[in-house]
Chains A and B, each alone.
Chain A
């Protein structure tokens, strides 16, 4: 059973370009979270999705950022017109959804590290 798969692991973009980060949750997991981590800091919640639904996007910047988790395929975090401040590691995590996180942990991918030049 493969873990949470994120790609690309490293992405370099110039200011103004678009970044697309993909996350395939663990098999059988229907809930996905995206977190952002700046160097030497903790993880900041961005968005929580279930299949075809955004449940909580309270941590997502209102502009330039969007996320989806379609019925088929991976979850996508999209950042339009990137700026230097978007440089960070973006982590995806999944869990089964059964019983909620009160009964278990989140499973994290290895992250996608975005560098904006």
Chain B
């Protein structure tokens, strides 16, 4: 079963705008990770935030985590056409280092 649920399912913006994607999950977690997938390719890790962290930055990425609401957000600032991809959140589950992925947000950045 899915753990994370992203919203929106699809997002279309212009270059230079910010893109915000949200993820909600159901059970307690050790950490939450965000991955990117370009069309027809594998997933690439973007950022990991631990359950005791509230915010984390990496370049143009900002991730927040609210464990009381069981939700996370990924903000991409000053978006570029190359940011066009699907973005997935993933959480640990089951104590076996098993990552459970959400359905993803498909981001389209138009030049």
Binding site for B on A (CB under 8 A): 4, 31, 33, 35, 40-45, 48, 55-56, 58, 91, 93, 95, 100-102, 104-111
- Complex Cα–Cα for A109 and B30 (A): 24
Question: B33 in the interface, Cβ–Cβ < 8 Å?
Answer: yes
Partner of A48, one of B42, B43, B96, B106: B96
User: Using a Cβ cutoff of 8 Å, how many contacts connect chains A and B?
Assistant: 64
Contacts known (A91-B43, A108-B42); A41 close to B98, Cβ less than 8 A: no
Interface size class of B (residues with CB under 8 A): 20 to 34
Q: Is the CB of B50 within 8 A of A43?
A: no
Contact indicator B42/A45 (Cβ below 8 Å):
no
Find out whether the CB atom of A42 lies under 8 angstroms from the CB atom of B88: yes
Whether B96 lies near A56 (C-beta < 8 A) is yes
Point out the residues of chain A lying under 8 angstroms from B100, CB to CB.
Answer: 45
B30 touches A91 (CB 8 A): no
Question: How far apart are A93's CB and chain B's nearest CB, in angstroms?
Answer: 8
Q: Which residue of B lies closest to A58 (CB)?
A: B94
User: With A108-B43, A111-B42 known to touch, is A102 a contact of B101 (CB < 8 Å)?
Assistant: no
**B83-97 interface with A by 8 A CB criterion:** 88, 92, 94, 96-97
